Structure 1
Amino acid sequence: MSAAPRIAPSALFTPQEWAPFQMRSAWAGPLLVAHCWAVIALAVIAGVLIPWLIPLCVMIVGTRQLGLAILMHEAAHGGLSKSNRLNDCLGHWLCAVPIGASLKAYRPYHLTHHRFAQQAEDPDLMLSAPFPISPASLRRKLIRDLTGQTFFKQRVLLPLAQAHARSSSPRGDSTKGMSDSAHDYESIVTGRSVLPFLAFNAVLLAGFIAAGVWWAFFALWLLPMATWFPMVTRLRNIAEHACVEGSSADPFRAARTTKASLWERAFIAPYWVNFHAEHHLFMWVNSYKLPALHEKLREKGVTARMEVAPGYIAVLREASGKPASATRLTEVS
C-alpha cells in the first residue's frame, strides 16, 4: 500500500503563521450546526407561509442537508468541538442521523480516504475515476438525482441489499454479495443508520402534524432530500477530485478548490466545502479557517501549483469533456 504524499506545515509556515490554524474553537462548531438548522427552519416556514416559494425553499433545504453532511465531515476530523464527546454527539445526532448517515461508520472510511487519497486503496476513488464522461452521461446522472432515483437506490434498495446480505451470510457479513464498490460506499453512509434515520424522521413528521402542516414534511424536508440533496452531493464529489492531473503524486494537487460565488455557496457549496485542496493539504484545519489558509497559500505562491477552478460550471464542463465513444468502457452510468 502506498500512502498519499504529504507535506508538513513547517515546510510552508513559521510556527507563528501556523499557530492560528491549529487552534480549536469551543463555540464555532455548535454555532455552525445551529446555523444550518436555523436556515432549514426558516426555509420551511417561508415555504409554508408563501407556497409559491416552495421550489426555492426545496433548493435551500437540500443544500443545507448537504451542509449537515459537511458538518458531519467536520466532526469526523474532530472539528466541531474541543470536547470529543460533544463533537461526536453533535456530528452524529444532529448532522449524520437526520440525513441517514452514521458518524461512527463514516469516520474510519473517510480517514482511509485521506490516508490513500487518489491511490488504488482510496475508497473514494470510484467517485472520481470515471471522469471525464460524456455530457449525455452527466445529464443522465443529474436527472436521476433530481427525479429521486438516486435517493430510492441509496435509501431503499441498498439498505435492503445490505439486510439480505447480512441474513444470508453465516458470519453476518453485511457486505457479502455486494461486488460493486459503490454499494459498499453508499451502505456505509446510509444503510447502517436506517433505524435512527427512520426514528428521527418519524419524530420530525409528528412535529409537522402537531403544527397542522403535515404536508410540509414531504414537500419541504423529504422532497429536498430526494432531489436537490443528491444532486449537489454529486456536484461536490465531482468538484473535489475529478479530472485533477497529478493528484496521486503531488500533495498540492490531491484535490480541487473551486471558487464559489455567493449563489453557489447558497445553493451548491455551503460551509467552505469548496476549499478542498486546502483541506487535503492540512486535514485537521477547521473548515471555517480554510479561506484564510487559502489566502496564506496564495501569498506564498503555492496556489499556482494547486488545481483551482473558477466556479462549478467550469468544473462540470471539464468533467463532461470526454466524447461519448470514449466513455463507454470506463464510465459508471
Structure 2
Amino acid sequence: MSPSAVTEPPFRPRAVFTPEELAALTRRSDLAGVAVTAGLWASIAACFALLALFPNPLVFIAVVVLLGGRQHALAVLGHEAAHRTLCRNERLGDFLGDWLGARWVWQDVPRYRAHHLKHHAHTGSDADPDRSLNRPYPGSRRALRKRVIRDLLGLTGLRRLAAQFLMDIGVFRYTVAAEVERLPQDGRRWTDYLRSGVRHMSGFVLTNLLMLAVLMTLGIGWTYLAWAVAYLTTFSLFIRLRAIAEHAAMDRDPDVRRNTRTTRAGWLARLTLAPLNVHYHQDHHLMAAVPCYRLPTLHRLLRARGVVAEPPTYLGVWRAATAGAAR
C-alpha cells in the first residue's frame, strides 16, 4: 500500500456534495423503478421471441448467453430492492425486486438483505460474509479457466441448486457466498424440513411454472429450455466474473476506495456482466443510498471531484486477478 493511500482522508459525502446534490443523487423514483423492471422483462420477452422466430442452434446459443445476462439482471434487481433504493415506495420496491426479480432465480430479498448488509458493513475484512468469493484471487489463469469450464458445463449451476435446496430446508445457513455452514439438526422432524422448504422454495417454483405456462400458452413452451440451460451455465459464469471484478485482488482495508472496484462496461458487458449499472460498484459502496439509475451521474461527479480514479476494463481486472505464479 502506498504512503499516499495511508494518509488519504476518509470519504465523507457531505464534504464532497452540497445538500441539494445529495438530495438529487439519493432521490428514489417509483416511475424509474417500474421502468427499470419493465425494461428488463421486455428484454426477456424479446429473447424468447427471437428464439421462437429463428429456432436454430446458433440462435439458441446466443439466447442462452442473453438470458443468462437477464437472469443476472433479475438478481441485481433484487440487490437494488435489498437496499430499498429501487422505488420511493418501499413496498413497491420490495415487490418488484422480490417477485419480479430475485424469486425467478431462486433468491429472495428478505434473506439476501440481511446477508448483503453485513457485506457492506464488513467489506475487506474477515467478517465479510462474501469473503470466500474472492479468496482464490489473485490466482492462476489455469485455475480460472477450470472454474469457467465448470460454469459452462453446468456443474457450478447443479452444485448451486443442491446447496440452495439444502439452505431452503434448513440444513445449511443461508448465504450467497462460496462456503456453506451446516446448521444443527437436533430435534428436527421431516415436517420441519418440509415447512421450511415450502416457505423458501415456493416463490422460485411458482414463478418458473408461471413462465413455462405462459410460453406453452403461446405455443413456444420448448423455449423454456433456453432459460433452464442459461440458469445452469451462463448465469453462473456472469455471477463469477462480476464478483471477481468487484472485490478480487484488492487491498484488505476498510477504505472502500481500496477494497472495492468500479469497472468500465461496454454494451456487451451491460447485457451480461454489468446489468442495471452494477459495474459502478465502488461508487455504490461509497454511497449505497444512491439508486442504480443514478449511479452513472454519481460516478461522473466523483471522477470530476477527484474522489475516484478512472476504472479499469474487465479484461484488465481479470488479468490482475490471474497474476498468480502458475499459468
CA distance, structure 2, for counterparts of residue 237 and residue 314 of structure 1: 14
Which position in structure 1 is the counterpart of 2:308?
303
Other-structure match for 2:315: 313
> Are residue 207 (structure 1) and residue 214 (structure 2) matched?
yes
| 1:123 aligned residue | 129
Please tell me whether residue 248 in structure 1 is matched to residue 248 in structure 2: no
Shift of 1:240: 0.3
Alignment CA distance shift 1:278-1:163 (3 Å): closer
Alignment match of 1:22 (pick from 26, 29, 40): 26
**Is 1:182 the counterpart of 2:179 in the alignment?**
yes
Matched, 1:289 2:294: yes
2:101 maps to which of 95, 98, 115: 95
Unaligned runs of 5+ in 2: 1-8, 183-196
Provide the rounded CA distance (Å) in 1 between the counterparts of 2:272 and 2:206. Answer: 28
Contact 2:168 2:201 in 1 (8 A): no
**1:9 counterpart = 2:6:** no
Determine whether 1:39 maps to 2:39. Answer: no
Question: How far is the alpha carbon of 1:122 from its aligned partner?
Answer: 0.7
- Once the two structures are superposed, residues 87-113 of structure 1 have per-residue CA deviations (whole angstroms, 9 ceiling, x without a partner) of 111111110111100111000100011
Please state how far the C-alpha of 1:160 moved relative to its aligned partner: 4.5
Task: Give the whole-Å Cα distance in 2 for the aligned partners of 1:279 and 1:159.
Answer: 27
8 A contact 1:62–1:229 mirrored in 2: yes
Task: Name the SS for the 1:260 alignment partner.
Answer: coil
Shift of 1:6: 6.3
Normalising by structure 1, we get a TM-score of: 0.84
Instruction: Summarize the Cα distance change of 1:225–1:77 in structure 2 as closer, same or farther, 3 Å threshold.
Output: same
Counting only pairs closer than 5 Å after superposition, residues 150-165 of structure 1 correspond to structure 2 as 150-155=156-161, 157-162=162-167
Q: Secondary structure at the match of 2:265?
A: coil
Q: Output the TM-score relative to the length of structure 2.
A: 0.86
Deviates more, 1:64-73 or 1:257-266: 257-266
Structure 1 segments unaligned to the other structure (5+ residues): 167-173, 186-190, 326-333
Secondary structure of residue in 2 paired with 1:257: coil
- Identity over aligned pairs, percent: 37
Aligned to 2:279, which of 274, 277, 288? 274
Return the letter of the residue paired with 2:285.
H
1:224 equivalent in alignment to 2:230:
yes
Aligned length: 301
Structure 2 CA distance for aligned equivalents of residues 303 and 204 of structure 1: 42
Provide the rounded CA distance (Å) in 1 between the counterparts of 2:211 and 2:11: 45
